[in-house]
Structure 1
């Protein structure tokens, strides 16, 4: 892994609270080419329905994994699979509600792209706060939409995740319009808006001082469904 872009990303996170890392930056940092995302994206075909999102009328697939990251040596340790719990003062839809999702597949956990990405994000989290051990939550999402049914990447609207570092990586999208990601400061000042369109686009945020949300997606061609595949990874002490 090269570190040419890590310092600038960390600096923007500390001063602004958010940073959009373009694919060329991320690919160069991870030491991969653009074709790696197509291979990595095959894991999204193994996701399972999100029954909790379905209660709100959202067609979403996902899995979930929990890890411990040690800053000193960059070590990553899988933790026992359990319920996904939203911290206090975060997502208003699911506070105090345990949600149970299928675990990440072994192939996904062992994928070198995921391992490199977690190492990068661990460096950025540690740049925000001098923490020795981090709780890391890894959630691949697939949001679907049809002509009469918009897909809602964030049905809760603008929110926090109750962590230190939050990241959203676009892995793939097809036949989709919309899906604009926006980040605001705690006092409501607009910081950034962007549609994540190219695989390898990584949106980063200091979740302690920002709010984020994503607008709905709809099909470009009404005869076919729209799809948006992202990977959300969070780091908390």
Structure 2
């Protein structure tokens, strides 16, 4: 499998184990969001290819993004609890879809999210609006949708807010994209009046090891505004 001519590829995931599905209701609230709509865990890995892509869990550190990529919570060191599941199948699916250069080592961020919506909570999928994340490749993988509308994934060129692709990823579906070539967005989720719904997903981000988004040097550059 390889990228579509517009620098993205849709992927059907293998069956997702119950051990992963059962983790989503336990995700802690994301304290950095303005509203109680997102719950989240986060871990980082170094991967290398031998006979397959092998993962090395990196020592846990805060998550941070440059303000040029995130105008809402960029420039902050955000503390999240680490994943409690093994994301190896998802990491390999993204790596094989691109496919990543097997002669290089890569660094991967893995975010596990639940976005909820009810009468008191707006189901904000992407607080920062259409954006790039500053990574080389990204994968958005949906695990579950319950009692919701919306949550439509949209891809835009760098110079237009009009999506060239709009689709609703169902459970077990993912999209891998070249983050340098486009912006992405997802519409808010909605639920019937008086009811609650949720959207469970993973976001994975890939960078070569020399361009890693990890460690004290990277964090200092983000905080100093030099990244």
Question: What is the TM-score of this pair, normalised by structure 1?
Answer: 0.80
Who is 1:77 aligned against?
Answer: 56
C-alpha displacement of 1:20 = 2.4
Question: What is the TM-score of this pair, normalised by structure 2?
Answer: 0.83
> Among residues 161, 175, 179, which one is paired with 2:151 in the alignment?
179
C-alpha displacement of 1:80 = 0.4
Who is 1:192 aligned against?
Answer: 165
Paired residues, number: 206
C-alpha displacement of 1:148 = 4.7
Q: Does 1:123 align with 2:104?
A: no
List aligned pairs for 1:195-214, cutoff 5 A.
Answer: 195-196=168-169, 198-214=170-186
**Cα distance per residue 1:105-137 (max 9 Å; x no partner):** 1xx12xxxx32221122223444x676111101
Q: Distance in 1 between matches of 2:202 and 2:159?
A: 27
Q: Does 1:11 align with 2:3?
A: yes
Q: Does 1:61 align with 2:39?
A: yes
> Among residues 139, 142, 165, which one is paired with 1:170 in the alignment?
142
Distance 1:72 1:124, change over 3 A: farther
Q: CA RMSD, aligned part only?
A: 2.0
**3-state SS in 2 of match to 1:63:** strand
**3-state SS in 1 of match to 2:198:** strand
Q: Distance in 1 between matches of 2:69 and 2:182?
A: 11
Structure that is richer in helix per residue: 1
Q: Does 1:229 align with 2:222?
A: no
Question: Which stretches in structure 2 are left out of the alignment for 5+ residues?
Answer: 209-227
Instruction: Confirm or deny: 8 A CA contact 1:144 1:225 kept in the other structure.
Output: yes
Instruction: Confirm or deny: 8 A CA contact 2:67 2:73 kept in the other structure.
Output: no
Instruction: Confirm or deny: 8 A CA contact 2:132 2:182 kept in the other structure.
Output: yes
Distance 1:160 1:82, change over 3 A: same
**3-state SS in 1 of match to 2:22:** helix
Instruction: Confirm or deny: 8 A CA contact 1:18 1:183 kept in the other structure.
Output: no
Q: Distance in 2 between matches of 1:72 and 1:37?
A: 25
Instruction: Confirm or deny: 8 A CA contact 1:145 1:227 kept in the other structure.
Output: yes
Question: Which stretches in structure 1 are left out of the alignment for 5+ residues?
Answer: 1-6
**3-state SS in 2 of match to 1:51:** coil
Q: Distance in 2 between matches of 1:148 and 1:49?
A: 15
Runs of 4 or more, structure 1, over 3 Å off, are 36-39, 124-127
Instruction: Confirm or deny: 8 A CA contact 1:139 1:233 kept in the other structure.
Output: yes
Instruction: Confirm or deny: 8 A CA contact 1:71 1:122 kept in the other structure.
Output: no
Q: Distance in 1 between matches of 2:157 and 2:46?
A: 28
